Structure 1
Amino acid sequence: MTKKKSVYVFPIAVLLFLSLITTASTVGTQVVAESSGKSQTLTVYIHSLSSVNGNGTIATDEIDWYQGADATQIFTEREPEAAAEIGGPPDDYYIVNDSDTLTTYSLADNAAVIMQIYDHTGNLEDLDIQWNEKITLQQFIDEFNKTDILDLSQLPYHITIQDGVVTSIVQQYIP
C-alpha cells in the first residue's frame, strides 16, 4: 500500500510556512555567556552544538515566544495586514527574532534534554511526535547534526542556564 506524497510533504510544508511568518535571523554578532550566579530560562534557536573531549558548547539565538492572547497582541501590532486578514497568529503562537546575536554557552555534562519530535529511524514516514521524550545530551548532539529528515535547528528550545552553563534543553513543539 502506497501513502500519498502529501502525507510526507505536509510536515515539511508546515515548517516552511512557519519560518515565513516569523522574523528571520542571520548570523551576526557572537558573544560568550558569562556567569551570572543565578538560574534563568531563555527561548532560543540553536545555531550549533558541539562536544570535544567532553567539553560541550551551544551557540544560541535568543527569541521571544508568545502564546495565546499575548501572541495575538504582538502579531496584530507587528503584522496588522495579516492580522486583519486571518484574525490572529496561526496555531496560537508567534515568534519574534529581532536580533542576530549568537550567544555561546558551555553545556553541563549531565544536561537534561527533552524532545517532542526528532528523526528516530531515518525514515520520513516514521517521523512522529513523542511528547517529552528524554534523550541524552550526546544523542541530542548527534540528532541535531542530522538534517536529512528533520532539521532540528528550525525549532525553538527553552534552555535553562545555571551559573553560565546550560543545564536543560527542552524542545518547543510547533504545529
Structure 2
Amino acid sequence: MMKLASKWTVLALMMMLITTAGATAQGYTPVAAAENQETVYINQMEIRDGQIYLSADPIEWYEGAAADKAFVEHEGNTGLDGAPDGYYIVNNSVQNDVYQVAPDASVEVQIYDHTGNIEDTDVQWNESIPLAQFEKDFAKKDVLDLSQFPYHITLREGKVVKIVQQFIP
C-alpha cells in the first residue's frame, strides 16, 4: 500500500509541476534565432580528455503559425487545423552529431531541478547554470530528465558556445 501511495504522491507532484509550468508560460518568449544555431535533442554528454562532448540529434522546431503549418503538412488529415500545443517538432532523422563544448560555454535552462526534490523543480526563464553543473545534472534521470527537452545550441569554430533549453508548454 505504501508503494501505491508514493506513486500517487509523485503523480500529484508532477501534475502540480505541469500546472505551474503552464501558468508560468504566460511570460514565455521564443528563443531568438541566431547565426550558427541549431535545434537538437542532446542524447548524451561525456567527458573525454578533460573536455565535454555532446551527442546531438538535429530537429526542426516550429512555434505559432509555423507550427500549425508544419503540423498540417506532416500529420495530414487529423481533423485538427494546427499544432495542439502551439509548437511542433519534426525529427525525421537518426543523425547523431558529436560536438565539443567550449569550456566557457553558457547554459540557460527554463525548467530545472535545483535540489533533487520534485516539488522544488520550477520554471525560471533563461536561468544561467554552470556548464559543469549541467553536464552533471544531465546524467540524472530520477526527478527531471534533461534529455527530454530540445535545446538550441550555438556553434563557433565547430564548438558549442551556448546551450539554451527550449521550454515545452
Q: TM-score range by the shorter chain?
A: 0.7 to 0.9
Which residues in structure 2 correspond to 1:110-125 (within 5 Å)?
Answer: 110-125=104-119
Q: Which residue of 2 aligns with 1:78?
A: 74
- Indicate the residue corresponding to 2:61 in structure 1: 65
CA deviation after TM superposition for structure 1 residue 10, in Å:
2.6
3-state SS of paired residue (1:7): helix
> Aligned partners of 1:123, 1:147: CA distance in 2, in Å?
12
Q: Would the aligned equivalents of 2:108 and 2:128 in 1 still touch at CA under 8 Å?
A: yes
Shift of 1:8: 1.8
Q: CA deviation at 1:67?
A: 0.7
Is 1:92 the equivalent of 2:86?
A: yes
Shift of 1:12: 8.4
| Contact kept? 1:118, 1:143, Cα under 8 Å | no
Match of 1:10 among 4, 7, 15: 15
Normalization by structure 1: what TM-score? 0.77
Moved over 3 A (4+): 4-7, 11-14
TM alignment of 1:96-107, pairs within 5 A: 96-107=90-101
1:138 aligns to what SS in structure 2?
helix
CA contact (8 A) 2:108 2:129 kept: yes
Structure 2 residues without counterparts, runs of 5 or longer: 1-7, 20-34
Task: Give the aligned partner of residue 44 of structure 1.
Answer: 40
**Shift in Å at residue 11 of structure 1?**
7.1
Task: Tell me the matched-pair count.
Answer: 146
Question: Which amino acid in the other structure matches residue 58 of structure 2?
Answer: E
Instruction: Give the Cα–Cα distance (whole angstroms) in 2 for the partners of residues 40 and 99 of structure 1.
Output: 20
CA RMSD of aligned residues (A): 2.0
**One-letter code of the match for 2:87?**
Y
Q: Which amino acid aligns with 1:145?
A: A
Question: TM-score scaled to structure 2, two decimals?
Answer: 0.80
Q: Identity, % of aligned pairs? A: 47
